[in-house]
């Protein structure tokens, strides 16, 4: 049953009282520094102001421009803050509802604020956990009969990304230049990427450190995750193709990775657990959880060309398609004693489903450029053009309640001359 807030929550909103995501905001036109927030409907709530009023326990948000200090306090504190906020903003609670001055001070319309990167990200890891995506890529670039490399069904493949270029939704992304080499060219040349792409992904934000040299079991891993965000891992396919042998992705990926501004807690996602795909062969014991579960999160990608007003939905997929779960990713990441830290970002890798319309990248949707997509405007796309805006949305739904992530959106700017 859906709970009610005295704040307006539009029909279909991703942010009812049951959600209570966490982010960082500042008010447009004010000199105050960024600070922690939650969101109900289209209202952004100042957590530092609530703490200053003595309405939130602890000292997590005052004089803090990211959520790292709050996250470091641990799961019991996260739950206490979330429960307190749900009580304060319920329709029956008059403490803020009937105090006009206090309500105006802590509540801000979404249109009047700027949203910031919610955490200081020390390290960023990108996985490759969709069997459908890995099979599609292997089919296109290698042998269709042996699309998956021998290790893929035995471990969550991943690589260390670039944390410095993780940006918040709404940030423009410049088309990268790099070394390109066509199949018929004898030598590479340096030029703007022609095959610029997006990737539908999700990421988890680490909420608990494991000491260097110590690992987390697959069943302990869930307690190390604070929450989840939407991710678009922008990709220059032509730069990547030339550079990735023998060590893997580098400049074709590191120009930008966009994340949504709101971190949705695992507690909010709990009602939407579902089974993971069956794993065959059975993973090694350290990757075998007592229960093999994931979340049912619907995902869409929308493309809007420059000068147009109507977006085209170009892909619909679901987080539950991932072969390797986020718990298995965390367990594998720490299995060698690697120490994860609070605020680290672990992204899922491209999420593709079994049907062509559920593929999570233009590389797959256009099948390496051979099957152009037609947009509402009548234009076609094989890869992203300058000034295209790509938006990914995601939400869970059931029993009259929708819990969502909002969106992660970015516009492609031309390469530097």
Count, in order, helices (H) and strands (E) of the chain.
10, 26
Q: How many CB atoms lie within 10 A of CB 160?
A: 12
The answer to whether 383 and 366 have CB atoms below 8 angstroms apart is yes
What would the mean pLDDT of 278-292 be, rounded to a whole number?
A: 97
- Antiparallel, parallel or unpaired: β 345-347 and 124-127: parallel
- Find out whether the peptide bond into 281 is cis, omega within 30 degrees of 0: yes
Nearest to 300 by CA among 193, 395, 399: 395
Decide: 25 and 108 in contact? Cβ < 8 Å: yes
Q: Is 133 annotated in the active site?
A: yes
- All CATH 2.30.30.230 domain ranges of the chain, comma separated, are 23-116
Fold designation for 124-413: Fumarylacetoacetate hydrolase; domain 2 (3.90.850)
d(CA 161, CA 46): 32
Comparing CA positions, the residue from 363, 410, 367, 409 lying closest to residue 383 is 363
The rounded mean pLDDT for the chain is 97
pLDDT at 417: 86
Residue spans in the chain of domains classed CATH 3.90.850.10: 124-413
pLDDT of residue 3: 76
31-46 pLDDT, tens per residue?
A: 999 999 999 999 999 9
- Looking at domain 23-116, its CATH superfamily turns out to be Fumarylacetoacetase, N-terminal domain (2.30.30.230)
**Nearest residue to 262 via CA among 232, 234, 228:** 228
Give the count of beta carbons closer than 10 Å to the beta carbon of residue 24. Answer: 25
Q: What is the pLDDT of residues 170-228, one digit of tens each?
A: 999 999 999 999 999 999 999 999 999 999 999 999 999 999 999 999 999 999 999 99
pLDDT computed for residue 1 by the predictor: 41
SS3 content of the chain, % helix, strand, coil (to 5): 25, 30, 50
Lowest mean pLDDT across 29-33, 65-69, 287-291: 29-33
Which of the residues 14, 108, 116, 133 is marked catalytic?
Answer: 133
Beta strands 225-232; 264-265: pairing state: antiparallel
Confidence of residue 2 (pLDDT cuts 50, 70, 90): low
């Amino acid at each position: 049953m859906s709970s009610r807030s005295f704040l307006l929550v539009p029909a279909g909103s991703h942010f009812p009282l049951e959600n209570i995501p966490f982010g960082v905001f500042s008010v447009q036109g004010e000199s105050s520094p960024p600070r922690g927030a939650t969101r109900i409907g289209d209202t952004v709530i100042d957590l530092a102001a609530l703490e200053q009023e003595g309405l939130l326990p602890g000292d997590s948000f005052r004089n803090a421009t990211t959520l790292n200090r709050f996250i470091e306090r641990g799961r019991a504190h996260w739950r206490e803050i979330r429960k307190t906020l749900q009580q304060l903003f319920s329709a029956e609670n008059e403490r803020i509802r009937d105090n006009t001055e206090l309500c105006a001070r802590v509540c801000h319309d979404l249109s009047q604020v700027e949203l910031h990167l919610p955490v200081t990200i020390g390290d960023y890891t990108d996985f490759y956990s969709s069997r459908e995506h890995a099979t599609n890529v292997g089919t296109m670039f290698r042998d269709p009969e042996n699309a998956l490399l021998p290790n893929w069904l035995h471990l969550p493949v991943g690589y260390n990304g670039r944390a410095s270029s993780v940006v918040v939704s709404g940030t423009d992304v410049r088309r990268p230049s790099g070394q390109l080499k066509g199949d018929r060219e004898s030598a590479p040349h340096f030029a703007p990427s022609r095959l610029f792409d997006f990737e539908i992904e999700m990421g988890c934000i680490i909420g608990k450190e494991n000491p260097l040299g110590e690992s987390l079991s697959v069943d302990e891993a869930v307690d190390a995750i604070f929450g989840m965000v939407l991710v678009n891992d922008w990709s220059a396919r032509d730069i990547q193709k030339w550079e990735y042998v023998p060590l893997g992705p580098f400049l074709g990926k590191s120009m930008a990775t966009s994340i949504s501004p709101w971190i949705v807690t695992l507690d909010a996602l709990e009602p939407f657990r579902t089974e993971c795909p069956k794993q065959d062969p059975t993973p090694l014991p350290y990757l075998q959880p007592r229960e093999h579960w994931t979340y049912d999160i619907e995902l869409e990608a929308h493309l809007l060309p420059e000068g147009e007003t109507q977006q085209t939905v170009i892909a619909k997929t679901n987080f539950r398609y991932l072969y390797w779960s986020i718990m298995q990713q965390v367990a594998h990441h720490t299995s060698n004693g690697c120490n994860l830290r609070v605020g680290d970002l672990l992204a899922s890798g491209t999420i593709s489903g079994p049907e062509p319309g559920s593929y999570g990248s233009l590389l797959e949707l256009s099948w390496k450029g051979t099957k152009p997509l037609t947009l509402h405007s009548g234009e076609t796309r094989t890869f992203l053009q300058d000034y295209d805006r790509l938006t990914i949305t995601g939400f869970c739904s059931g029993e009259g309640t929708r819990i969502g992530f909002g969106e992660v959106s970015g516009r492609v700017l031309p390469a530097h001359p």
